[in-house]
Amino acid sequence: MRAELTNPAGEGTAVNLSRQRALRSALPAVSLVLLLLLIWAFNPRAISYFGLNLMLNLAIPIALATIAQMCVMATNELDLSIGAFIGYVACVTGTFMASQPALAVLMLAAGILVYMLAAAVIYMRAIPSIVVTLGLSFFWGGLALLIRPTPGGRAPEFLTKFLSWQPPLVPLPVVLSLVLALSVHLLLMSSSYGTILRGSGGNERAIGRAGWSILKAKVTMFALAGFFGVLSGMLLVGVSSSADATMASGYTLLSIAGAVIGGAEFVGGRISPIGAVIGALVLQLASSALNFLQVPFLPGGRIPQEWQVGAQGFFLILILAARVLISRSNSK
């Protein structure tokens, strides 16, 4: 008889936990929909093919930077150098990719190798990742200034042709966002090796007891971060048509904010690739939405560009507050 008895309290806790996870997972998508509705209320023409293409023009480099940061966060670490690294990639791409592609590819591959070495140093020497990556940020920034002391250069032809493509029905940034989110989700969330990679930050003991190398898993995740950082820098040059050593200086904070909005936590293994991409889109749209607001008491009725950072921070605080409220309501 005892074996047949159930535990109502335990079942209730499990139901509350599953409901809480579902609500928290839905937060990024809900915030994106609400933001689109807000923009539509102020300017319905903005929610069109060309309007979305214009607003989300810079969203893909930010989304790639967010995915790179998410890969590092999955290992229970933090990357403070991703913005400077993307600036380095942009300078390499804008300076050498068109005229010396072999040299450019070699320099970009060396950047990914440095990321892998950084992961090994962090794990083997037990040095905090914020210390190592902060030092790397100065390293990447210095290299970028050596390569491109002043803004300039040009985007390679294959990038400009690719970014000028206009797919039918759906704008290119939306298509790229879907491809990025689904491909990374399949890699990290749906594959068996993706479970091992995430487990390197969430449960090192279990992964080690299963016979997997924690060092290899962390190095792999940092290599993925470097790879997505390279893609971010290249696409940033393609969008901007030039390169600058400081053009991605704000991407470090944006990548952290986008990953957190998307559901990632500072506890290894708790990530959401789809949520991270949506978080990046939310941040980009939050800054773009200010262009459609009319404030009578401001000069020209336009909100200053400096307020865009404030709008991104507002949405980050709002989503985090909603996440806390969901956790508290389901714990009662």
Per residue in 118-140, pLDDT (tens digit) is: 999 999 999 999 999 999 999 99
Which of 68-82, 123-137, 168-182, 286-300 has the weakest average pLDDT?
A: 286-300
Distances (CA, A) of 300 to 1, 288, 293, 294, 295: 77, 17, 11, 9, 8
Residues 126, 146: Cα–Cα separation, whole Å: 31
What are the structure tokens assigned to 307, written together?
Answer: 């307020």
Angle at which helix 251-261 crosses helix 273-289, to 10 degrees, equals 120
Q: Which amino acid is at 172?
A: L
324 by Cβ neighbours in 10 Å (0-12 / 13-18 / 19+) ranks as exposed
Please name which of 235, 176, 160, 184 lies closest in space to residue 53, comparing C-alpha atoms: 176
- All structural domains of the chain: 28-326 (1.10.3470)
Residues 48, 61: Cα–Cα separation, whole Å: 21
DSSP lists the bridge partners of residue 152 as: 243
pTM of this structure: 0.90
152 in helix, strand or coil?
strand
pLDDT at site 96: 95
pLDDT digits (tens, 9 = 90+) for 61-116: 999 999 999 999 999 999 999 999 999 999 999 999 999 999 999 999 999 999 99
Residues 225, 247: Cα–Cα separation, whole Å: 19
